[in-house]
Structure 1
Amino acid sequence: NFHCHPEQVFVTSGYSAGLGLTLRVLGLEGQKVWMEEPGFMLARKGLELARLNIVPIPVDADGINVDYGIKTAPDAALAVLTPGQQAP
């Protein structure tokens, strides 16, 4: 389950705007981020521009492999998921 408070929700005009705003607000430069592999190339570029260290995490029919992510980069500060763009 995923729980959050209303003040933790960002509403934007689109995915790119939302990702850019979120990355600026969080200030995670230099930290690790889980990125689904394969994933949305625009998201990958945005993460690179924000100077995050991308850790590719495989996906399958059930989504991102969380166990792999925990084993590979348990200290990641962020996970970027774009289920509408997955192409396993």
Structure 2
Amino acid sequence: MPRVVVDVMPKPEILDPQGKAVLGALPRLGFAGVSDVRQGKRFELEVEGEVTEAVLADVHRMAETLLSNPVIESFAVRVEQDA
């Protein structure tokens, strides 16, 4: 089945406390060289049939109304190719 992925991230101007917590923990765990961390969400939707423009438009509406908070988050929709 085809898979459509929706990646949701906090908008750049929104504080990301989870990302900051990860950024603070990395050096304590021995990891260096990371200057910033932003934490988001990934949704994988398996769709029936072919991924058409209409299906992608539906997924876009899903992302706007349920999967993200458009006030503080942005999202990207993409089709993931079979491995």
- Structure exhibiting the larger radius of gyration computed from Cα positions: 2
More strand per residue: 2
More helix per residue: 1
